[in-house]
Structure 1
Amino acid sequence: MYIKNLSLVNFKNFEEADLKFSANLNCFIGNNGAGKTNLMDAIFYLSFCKSFISSIDGLNIMHDQDFFVIHGRYHRLENEENIYCGLKRGQKKHFKRNKKEYKKLSEHIGLLPLIIVTPSDMNLILGGSDERRRFLDSIISQYDQVYLDNLIRYNRALLQRNKLLKQFAADRFYSEESLEVWSDQMVHYGKLIHEKRVEYLQKLQPIFQHYYELISSGKERIEMVHESKLYDHDFAELLKESIPKDRLLQYTSVGIHKDDILFNLGDYPIKKIGSQGQKKTYLVALKLAQFDFIKDLSGMTPILLLDDIFDKLDKYRVEQIVKLVADDHFGQIFITDTNREHLDQMIEEIEADFKIFQVNDGTVNEVTK
């Protein structure tokens, strides 16, 4: 699977752009702030119905304009897919597949599998548990629609339970039966979500270790540890026992929405002991493992976006990553960089077709080979 064409109107700093891509390697070069990452974000948008940079859709509209449009043509399972996203300020976002609008955006997730590696991924290591849960949920949701539906239902029940706890405090009233309605739903969907998370992480760990060893020459041991109270406790009992605390706090203090994933280097958190290069290697290996996992399950080769991937890495690790992505195991790849040194190195390694695009302050032009 790959994207053939991308058209933009008033998307971020691009007033208009119409690009035709290689099915293999595509490179965006230009200075910082020129718009390279915005092009990556547009491709990401067409897979996930949202930006990976800004959660507020309206912020993606070009300044002083009233709307944006993103349109992509894809080759997918021997068919052509036309994906359209349009947004006018203050109005509902429109997302269409082959001119037919989706009733629910969640129906689109997984159609166009995509993996992105970006500097903001460092938040997975340095940020809070919510960052790591979102990462985990986004991976599983790409290949498991039931998981995504269960997650939506769980979050809805959690929201209603929290509203009820606040209402109890405001009205100085309490009804255990009313609370049980939402607790029961959280238990039902929470157990299903927990099972899938456990299954996924068990399968991902050896692939993750494999990629890390390739990039770091096997000098370091890594692991992911899933932290969840559901390993040792019954979820229904946890919710019941937490009622006094939850009423005091006015929110639900236990559940799968409190899970975390510990990223360790050896026996210690990489957050505390890892160098910048080790952390970057950790993230790249994690994303490449995610790539393999989704490729195997979906039967399609995901699009791979590598945004500013070479920063903070020593020469050896850069060379190892270049060798990895140059392999025909990967399909269509998009890379951004501020200079051509790394890109030329990759082009020398890769035997497939490639295109280079120069990005300058909201304009983009293909560079003649």
Structure 2
Amino acid sequence: MFKLENISLAQFRNYGQATFTFSQNVTGFCGKNGSGKTNLLDAIYYMCFTKSYFGKTDIQNTQQGKLGFRLNGQVTVDGKSHNIICVLRENGKKEFGVDNENYTRFAVHIGKFPCVMIAPDDVAIITQASEERRKFIDYTISQLDAAYLQTLIDYNKLLQQRNSLLKQLAESGNMDESLMEVISAQLVVAGNFIYRSRKAFLETFIPVVLELYHSIAEYKEKLTITYKSHLESADFKALLIKNRTKDIALQRTSQGVHRDDLELGLENYPFKTTASQGQRKSLLFALKLAEFEVLLKHKGFPPLLLLDDVFEKLDEARMKNLLVKVCVENKGQVFITDTHCSRLKEALEQLQVSHEIRSL
């Protein structure tokens, strides 16, 4: 069992100083927009991922007019207590550690305390460009496999280096060919590892998503999810050689796993142009709950589940199905926010699960 016992925030977003202690598996936070509900969930997420869920810089996470912030969380995993501390110093230096030992590399923290967040803007996974879907896949696998995360970091660094050489060649006509060969060879090795990892993961992940979608949506429309990659039908090294002239013209690497995508279809049409708002929300929740189930199976205990403003744009039937899955069938810890206290209270009481609701 993984449980967040308490969390303290100092100079984080709109919180000057605050401490929250949690005694129930299901905790609801209600209040008007701007009251700090989302900021509190993001602080919890931060403790698990060493950064904000919303892509904010550490300076943006600091309370207005202040320099630096501090987060302190007490968690229990399988009966053992751990203390997580993050401090952003006034000079901009960030320190992050567990049980009084600071990390030299923040990446080693990822996956130790698994967490799944669902927020309104996550619909971008469905509606926006492929980068959003790759990011979702990468965040999920990275919580399962430290080697994957490190390889992904290495790949992105190598990609930047190769693109810089291509830009140099395009602008000056000169380039260190031996360095290009070394970087490209390393990029191929990392790219092949990422492709194999994604392919293996998605072979088991996609069926879970499809099952959850139909369970939440209560419809039997034909939903398809297909993994697309340049490496499906061609050797990565050969692709880099074949597209070298094109890459020089574009001043970037046009082929590789950094262009991978999940192709979403509904009744043989593109999902994002065909699906209703309810269907989009249902697929989003299916993706996130599939992430939850994969983490649960791999870790042996449920990850924290953070639901930010999930009541909006979902009909009553879909919302009931979702809440049953996350609050009744799930035995882990859940945090839910809503702008309407009465709606949140009524929804949780109907589930007949032990819970608490706090007004912010």
TM-score by length of 2: 0.96
Whole-angstrom distance in 1 between the partners of 2:35 and 2:330: 31
Secondary structure of the corresponding residue to residue 64 of structure 1: coil
Q: CA RMSD in A?
A: 1.4
Partner of 1:304: 305
Q: Is the 8 A contact 2:24 2:356 kept in 1?
A: no
User: Which structure 2 residues correspond to residues 151-170 of structure 1 after superposition, within 5 A?
Assistant: 151-170=152-171
2:96 maps to 95
State how far apart, in whole Å, the 2-side matches of 1:228 and 1:341 are.
Answer: 47
Q: Which whole-Å CA distance do the structure 2 matches of 1:328 and 1:215 have between them?
A: 13
What does 1:213-224 align with in structure 2 at a 5 Å threshold? 213-224=214-225
Secondary structure of the 1:327 match is helix
Q: TM-score, normalised by structure 1?
A: 0.94
Matching residue of 2:46: 45
The secondary structure found in structure 2 opposite 1:278 is helix
Measure the CA separation in 2 of the matches of 1:251 and 1:9: 42
In structure 1, the residue matched to 2:25 is: 24
Separation in structure 2 between the aligned mates of residue 200 and residue 310 of structure 1, nearest angstrom: 30
How far is the alpha carbon of 1:352 from its aligned partner?
4.2
Question: 1:180 Cα deviation (Å)?
Answer: 1.1
How far apart, CA to CA, are the structure 1 residues paired with 2:333 and 2:306? Answer: 9
Count of aligned residue pairs for this structure pair: 359
Q: Structure 1: how far apart are the matches of 2:239 and 2:43?
A: 42
1:88-237 to 2 correspondences below 5 Å: 88-237=89-238
Question: 2:272 is matched with which residue?
Answer: 271
Alpha-carbon separation, structure 1, partners of 2:332 and 2:191: 35
**Deviation (angstroms), 1:172:** 1.9
- TM-superposition CA deviations, 1:317-340 (whole Å, max 9, x none): 112112222324341000000113
Structure 1 residues 345 and 211, CA, compared in 2 at 3 Å: closer, same or farther?
farther
**Structure 2 counterpart SS, 1:86:** strand
Match of 1:61 in 2: 62
Deviation at 1:265, TM superposition (A): 2.0
Task: Specify whether residues 8 and 150 from structure 1 end up closer, same or farther in structure 2 by C-alpha distance, changes over 3 A only.
Answer: same
Indicate whether 1:289 and 2:318 are aligned.
no
Output the amino acid matched with 2:115. Answer: L
The residue identity in structure 1 corresponding to 2:149 is L
SS of residue paired to 2:97? strand
Q: Secondary structure at the match of 2:85?
A: strand
Task: Give structure 2 stretches of 5+ with no counterpart.
Answer: none
Deviation at 1:77, TM superposition (A): 2.0
In structure 2, give the amino acid aligned to 1:46: M
Counterpart-to-counterpart distance in 2, 1:106 and 1:204: 24
Residue type at the aligned position of 2:5: K
Residues 1:29 and 1:89: Cα distance change in structure 2 (over 3 Å): same
1: CA distance, partners of 2:24 / 2:106: 26
Match of 1:73 in 2: 74
Q: Secondary structure at the match of 2:240?
A: helix
The 1-side partners of 2:39 and 2:27 are apart by 15
Q: How far does residue 217 in structure 1 lie from its aligned partner after superposition?
A: 1.4
The AA in structure 2 aligned to 1:187 is V
Q: Following the alignment from structure 2 to structure 1, what is the Cα–Cα distance between the partners of residues 48 and 32?
A: 26
CA distance 1:345–1:222, change in 2 (3 Å)? farther
Do 1:3 and 1:75's aligned partners in 2 also have CA atoms closer than 8 Å? yes
**How far apart, in 2, do the equivalents of 1:220 and 1:330 lie?**
30
For the residues of structure 2 that align with 1:86 and 1:79, how far apart are their CA atoms? 23
Other structure's SS at 2:7 match:
strand
Partner Cα separation in structure 1 for residue 342 and residue 265 of structure 2: 32
**8 Å contact from structure 1 (residues 326, 346) kept in 2:** no
Using the alignment, how far apart are the partners of 1:278 and 1:226 within structure 2?
A: 20
In 2, Cα distance between the equivalents of 1:229 and 1:251? 16
The 3-state SS of whatever aligns with 1:133 is helix
Runs of 5+ in structure 1 lacking a partner? 360-369
Amino acid at match of 2:48: S
| Displacement of 1:91 | 1.9
Q: Give CA deviations for 1:240-291 in whole Å, capped at 9, x if unaligned.
A: 1111111112111111001111222222222101111111111011101110
Tell me how far apart the structure 1 counterparts of residues 24 and 231 of structure 2 sit (CA, whole Å): 44
Match of 2:349 in 1: 348
User: What per-residue deviation string (whole Å, max 9, x for no partner) do you get for residues 166-205 of structure 1?
Assistant: 2223332144332111110111010110011111111111
Which segment is superposed worse, 190-199 or 122-131? 122-131
CA distance in structure 2 between the aligned counterparts of 1:350 and 1:325, rounded to whole angstroms: 11
In the alignment, the residues of structure 1 paired with residue 196 and residue 322 of structure 2 have an alpha-carbon distance, to the nearest angstrom, of: 33
